[in-house]
A and B are shown apart, each in its own frame.
Chain A
Amino acid sequence: MKVWASHLAVVALLLALGFLLPPYHATNMARIMVLAVFAMGYNLAFGYTGLLSLGHALFFAAGIYAAGLPIWHWGLGAAPALILGLLGGGIVAGVTGLLALRTAGVSFMIVTLMFAQAGYLTLLYFNGVTGGDEGFALPASGRMLFGADLSTDLPRYLTAWALFSATFLATLALVRSRFGRVMVALRENEERARMLGINPFTAKLAVLVLSGAASGLAGAAYGVLFGYAGASFATIQYSILPMLYVLLGGAGTVAGPLLGAVLMFALIEVANDLTSAWLFIVGAVLVIVVLFAPKGILGALRDRFFRGLP
């Protein structure tokens, strides 16, 4: 009960921030919540199940294009586009998983990386349809959700908040369920899990589909909320990004991806104001975190103070 209360408090706090923050920070918070959805999806695979993927940019891009292309070419609305994004990410993750899950560990990482790279090049190759490396701006008609204009501040914030909250609470329910314990069992000792009657391939495939669906939803949300889709979202940079959020906030914690996304966003803002070598500062901070808090901030807090933190 305490766990649900604390996580609902986070959701309530984020809702309040939408009305309290000045426009600049509210827009950034909307961005952070969308990216946190992406990181929560990544966390299901990496943090809870131990699937170290370098291909999640493919699932994010699958979502942004599954939503963006029908809007751009056929004038689809935002609501069906978001659903298509969710499905697009899940389906692409499923197909990728069917092949990539035949490997494990470093091999899995490399195979997922190769799939993502192939996806990126496919987007470039069919640039007549996808807009290629340049990408495309989504028309205003595709950014309307139940009569609300997602290019304006409050509807955008509330939509990002709703998607974040749904993913956040669903993740909490999932990791506290029986299947959540299966995920952790696979991460901790796959052979023992197999001995207990769990089919590792099926379970990991299911996790990857859920992870990809969340990533796809985040991609679709980014497209309709901020009005742009482009192949750069399929580059390796966007596979590393959710990993950094998860590592910083705490792998295998429900709130870690949000914390990581907030801190990373703030770190980039502050470092950018201090020096043109801001990437160096960001890198140094990450090295320090990995050295002194290898389980991330919430992971370290869980070890020391909050043993029951999911």
Chain B
Amino acid sequence: MTNFLMPSRRALLKGAGAGLLALALPAVVGAQAAPIKIGFQLHRTGIGASYGRWYERTATAALKLINDAGGIAGRPVEIVFEDDATDPKRGAEVVDKLTQQAGCDLVMGTLFSHVVMGSAPRAGELKVPYLVCSEGYHVASGALNRWTLQPGITDVRAQISTMAPWVAANLGKKVTMVFPDYAFGHDHRDFFTKAMAEQGGEVIAQIAIPPTETSFTRYFPQIPAETEVLYHVMVGPAVLTFVKELGEFYGTGAKPALFGFVDSLEAVDTATPGLEFLEGSHFWEGHPRVKPADAGEHEAAYRAAVGVDDNGASVSDAKDVSTYAHMFSTWETLYFIKNAMEAAGYTGPADRQKLVEAMEAITDLPYGLEHPQGAKRFNGKTHQVFGSQYISQIQSGKLIKVHATTIDEGLYPDAVDYTAMSF
């Protein structure tokens, strides 16, 4: 006879088993719900701070959408932001901290090339995926390692090379280049000169400006009179002086067509007094700052999520102009991570190698809310993504999109096969 006070042996075993299961349940649920932690190497201070501010906002907006939609493989996602002061030494320390102290599953978000170069070796040593948003050619050139990838933004080689056909066809074939005399400027000099020659055009003068220069007037007489296009990529505060002095040099007389990269005007209002001389000139943009009339169906949702108006400024402060041409890369990198983690069945740091292999297997990244800048093609061998570039013209002080390139225009032969390297 059994009753509540005197249970049978079978009932006792069942009860004990149920009790153990109940005790174990929170641990199982907890493990399933443990957040995926993504370390973000952020340029919060230093020369990259204006980019960093918007990189943080964009990544935070994408994170919210991902979590609202159920996270990654059902797990919530956290981003741990850590300032690297836009310094390569601190950058390597930040990779260490995010990986070994904060316990992040991977690290992402770096923009400035020297910070990428300084940090990537440490990421390789720690065997942690390191996804940069830098547009440098350092990844695809083979200078880094198997753990470093650039899936969210095209590189400078593709960007520059795809500009030449349009410049040659629409602005002119005799080009004078004005560029800062260091690596960034030299990339432009080398890639554009080659691409222009392939179009039957010619770079007739290359004017390198020392990085410490504060006035440019004395360089302008070196611009040959037969110049049809003036290609300029000055960066930093110097760009305002450069444009103002260029305007004074040409005055109201005939002038060559101007073509530049918007890197020099990121986070700067193109209607700023002193920039009037740029009216009618053209710029490369990674993602059109001013919402184009023919923008894709997801453009509005992306802008709303990040908090950017149709002019590319913050919705809360029209003077707070975004780094619109680059910041989409953090958004798209987060979705790339989500797709790769879900494809790899990622459960934790032990699966990091499997995760990189899953990333290398990704090829097509279709246009959508996950990739609002445009469709892309990822090359698993070179760890570099390819996509469309945009050309905009300053009309009434605003950047208006006038041309988009195709993905194929930016492709170039592989310089490395990271998949053949050991982990």
Q: Could you list which residues of chain A lie within 8 angstroms of chain B, going by C-beta atoms?
A: 22-24, 27-28, 31, 117, 121, 124-125, 127-128, 131-138, 151-152, 222, 226-228, 230-233, 237, 269, 272, 276, 278-279
Q: A133-B182, A232-B88, A232-B114 are in contact. Are A226 and B97 (CB under 8 A)?
A: no
Which of B16-24, B116-124, B191-199, B333-341 is the interface stretch?
Answer: B116-124
Contact among A124, A151, A272 with B121 in the assembled complex (CB-CB below 8 Å): A151
Is A124 in contact with B118, judged by CB distance below 8 angstroms? no
Q: Flag whether B101 is at the interface (Cβ < 8 A).
A: yes
B120 touches A232 (CB 8 A): no
- Please determine whether A226 and B122 come into contact, CB atoms closer than 8 angstroms: yes
* Inter-chain contact B143/A137, CB cutoff 8 Å: yes
Contact A31 B93 (CB under 8 A): yes
Contact of B210 among A121, A134, A226 (CB under 8 A): A121
Q: Contacts A133-B184, A135-B117, A135-B118 given; indicate if A233 touches B210 (C-beta within 8 A).
A: no
Q: List 19 A-B contacts (CB under 8 A).
A: A24-B96, A24-B97, A27-B100, A28-B96, A117-B212, A124-B182, A124-B211, A125-B182, A133-B183, A134-B136, A134-B183, A226-B92, A230-B117, A232-B89, A232-B118, A269-B97, A272-B83, A278-B83, A279-B85
Is there contact, CB below 8 Å, between A228 and B100? no
Whether, in the assembled complex, B388 has its beta carbon less than 8 Å from a beta carbon of chain A, the answer is: no
A230 near B118 with CB under 8 A, answer: yes
Chain B 83-120: CB-based contact to A (< 8 A → 1; otherwise 0) = 10101110011001100110000000000011001101
Cβ-based interface call for B61 (8 A): no
CB pair A23 B88 closer than 8 Å: no
Q: In the complex, what's the smallest C-beta–C-beta distance from B188 to chain A, in angstroms?
A: 13
**Cα distance A22–B97 when bound, in Å?**
12
A43 to B138, CA, bound (A): 37
Contact of B92 among A24, A125, A228, A233 (CB under 8 A): A228
> For A226, what are the chain B residues with a Cβ–Cβ distance below 8 Å?
92, 121-122
Chain A's closest residue to B118 (CB) is A228
How many interface residues does chain B have, given as a range?
35 or more
Q: Do B97 and A227 touch across chains, with their CB atoms under 8 A apart?
A: no
With A133-B184, A135-B117 known as contacts, the answer to whether A121 contacts B212 (CB < 8 A) is: yes
CB neighbours of A125 from chain B (8 A) = 181-182
Complex Cα gap A272–B120 (Å): 22
Q: List 8 additional A-B contacts (Cβ < 8 Å) besides A121-B211, A127-B182.
A: A22-B100, A121-B212, A131-B117, A134-B183, A136-B117, A151-B121, A233-B89, A278-B83
CA distance A269 to B418 in the complex (A): 34
Closest to A137 in B: B121
Q: Are A137 and B181 in contact (CB under 8 A)?
A: no
Cα(A230)–Cα(B83), bound, Å: 20
Q: Say if the beta carbon of B45 comes within 8 Å of chain A.
A: yes
A237 to B85, CA, bound (A): 12
Contacts of B100 in A (CB 8 A): 22-24, 27
A28, A137, A278: which has the most chain B beta carbons within 10 Å?
Answer: A137
